[in-house]
Amino acid sequence: MAGTEAKQPGEVLPTLPEHINPEWLGSKLKQKVKAIENTRNIWGTASKLFYAITYKDEGDGSERPTDICIKGVFDPKMIAAQPWTVSLAQREAEFFSRIAPHVDHMIFPKGWWSGVGETQGIAIMNDLTKEGCTFAAEVASYAVAKVMNGVEQLAGLHAKYWGQSQEDHPWIWNNYDPAMTFMVRSWDDVVRQPGRPKLPEYLMDGKRCNEAVDRYYAERNPRFRTLLHGDTHIGNTYFTATGEIGFLDWSAFHFGSCFHDIVYHMTAMLSIADRRAHEMEILDHYLDTLHRLGGPKFDRHNDPEVMTEYRRSFMTNVIWLICPDGLQSKERIASLCERTVATYDDHKVIDVILNQPKPAAKA
């Protein structure tokens, strides 16, 4: 990256679009910026502001951006109503500052600067549309080859951090598990709301499903622990001009079971029929790539813990069963809920989790 910063208490980062000007941007890119044009914006939990840059000079020949995306929280009403959105922006900024420079074998937007302040996190990255990249539709399914490419890249991330934990990187606190366990507490109310996707009877039991969620997060096998992207669904992917998958939205990275990323990605990207026909082929490709890139070698045929952890990890798809209205489109929720239920049926996910012996209590 051209520049990175940790939290600077003395600097107040822009929290409104009008705070972004040529002087501020030039100071972050370490370039003489003559003018910027705000070409478009995408508003959301974290907003994306797009700019075309004109420089004052021809530069020194080093690479510099002409079209950028500035991602952060630029809606004061959003911050007031949902202050936790700031932590997501800060987490993504920290990815570009502290994780991205060390990750290879993976495609994500090129970052130019990122920084974290008390009330903001900002990442300046390339405008992907100017690179010929495209984005997934709200409801879509893709060829198995695309998912193969996706799990190859996730294997690269996982191999780099295999066996590490929050103890090795204390600043990577786990904001994912608490968020998920909080969201499922309203299970019975959410799944019975009018207009929600219809679930099979065994998934209408909120108490039992909550127990399964709690035990999934509490009892993950440490043999498979690594750094996760954490949110590899279809809405956080894009396609390069050459057809490869790239990964967006790095606000949920944390340490957990490697299969979390794999099954979440696979379920979201494939039709039910293709997932059923090819998931073992995809899993084998992931395991082979993980080993080739420096991770451990696993044999799912002779190591029963591999398939147990794999099947348990489908619990991570639980978000689609109880996803609040407005967080994702109704069309995406309906489609991914159907795919999720199919995985729960096929792998007996709830039973696999609840039928495992509980860990012995610590003395």
327-354 tens-digit pLDDT: 788 999 999 999 999 999 999 999 999 9
pLDDT recorded at residue 144: 98
d(CA 299, CA 280): 12
Beta pairing class for 120-126 and 67-72: antiparallel
Confidence of residue 16 (pLDDT cuts 50, 70, 90): very high
Cα–chain center distance at 278: 23
Confidence of residue 1 (pLDDT cuts 50, 70, 90): low
Q: Which CATH class is domain 134-354?
A: alpha beta
Asked if the model's pLDDT at residue 123 lies above 90, the reply is yes
Return the closest-CA partner of residue 111 out of 45, 43, 57, 99: 99
Asked if the model's pLDDT at residue 362 lies above 70, the reply is no
- Please tell me what DSSP assigns to residue 171: T
Q: Which CATH number fits domain 3-127: 3.30.200, 3.40.50, 1.10.150, 2.40.350?
A: 3.30.200
**Mean per-residue pLDDT of the chain:** 93
d(CA 41, CA 115): 20
299-334 tens-digit pLDDT: 999 999 999 999 999 999 999 999 987 778 899 999
143-180 tens-digit pLDDT: 999 999 999 999 999 999 999 999 999 999 998 999 99
Rg (CA), the chain: 21
State the Cα torsion 126-128-132-135 to the nearest 10°. 170
d(CA 360, CA 363): 9
CATH 3.90.1200.10 in the chain, residues? 134-354
Asked if the model's pLDDT at residue 7 lies above 50, the reply is no
CATH 3.30.200 in the chain, residues? 3-127
User: What global pTM score does this model have?
Assistant: 0.93
Element holding 285 (H helix, E strand): helix 272-292
CA-CA distances (angstroms) from residue 267 to 154, 201, 362?
A: 15, 21, 36
Instruction: Name the 3-class secondary structure at 143.
Output: coil
